[in-house]
């Protein structure tokens, strides 16, 4: 049975205590650290963040109940664009560097090169998908 959904009256630090992956969610919504004992309601209000969209994403990430009708389309699209940027500009290049460090590319073994080639092709597909969303899907939804 899932725990109760996060609510506007919950302290923001409680959400992080439940799942530190919400630090990434906070970053994508533009919530800066230093909120102390403030509630979700107070922080979202102060930082002009759509509270219901933030709570829907936080509850979804943590496997709790959430309501789709409470989501603001501009807020969720902004969140998704920032998530795309995080993956394309930081996470995927970091994974590639770690992959190269982990495999032996110095020998005559083509397996290492095939692994890198496979990863690069995967990244190309991910990039293509995310760019399609950014240039086609999101503008359509916004319209």
Q: Are 3 and 64 in contact (CB under 8 A)?
A: yes
Q: From start to end of the chain, where are the E strands?
A: none
- Of 31, 24, 28, the residue nearest 12 (C-alpha): 31
**pLDDT, average across residues 24-38:** 92
The pLDDT assigned to 107 comes to 66
Give the global pTM: 0.83
**pLDDT, average across residues 90-112:** 85
Structure tokens of 120?
């690069």
Each residue of 107-125: pLDDT tens digit? 666 888 888 999 999 999 9
CB atoms within 10 A of CB 4: 10
Give dist(CA 68, CA 72) in Å, integer: 9
Q: How many CA atoms lie within 13 A of 112 on its CB side?
A: 12
Confidence of residue 90 (pLDDT cuts 50, 70, 90): very high
């Amino acid at each position: 049975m899932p725990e109760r959904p996060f609510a506007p009256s919950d302290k923001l630090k409680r959400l992080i205590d439940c799942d530190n992956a919400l630090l990434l969610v906070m970053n994508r919504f533009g919530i800066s650290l230093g909120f102390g004992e403030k509630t979700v309601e107070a922080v979202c209000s102060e930082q002009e963040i759509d509270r219901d969209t933030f709570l829907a994403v936080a509850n979804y990430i943590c496997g709790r109940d959430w309501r789709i009708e409470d989501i603001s389309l501009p807020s969720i699209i902004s969140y998704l664009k920032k998530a795309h940027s995080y993956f394309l500009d930081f996470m995927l290049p970091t994974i590639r560097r770690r992959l190269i460090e982990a495999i032996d590319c110095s020998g005559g073994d083509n397996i290492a090169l095939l692994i890198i080639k496979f990863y690069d092709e995967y990244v190309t597909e991910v990039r293509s998908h995310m760019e399609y969303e950014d240039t086609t899907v999101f503008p359509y939804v916004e319209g």
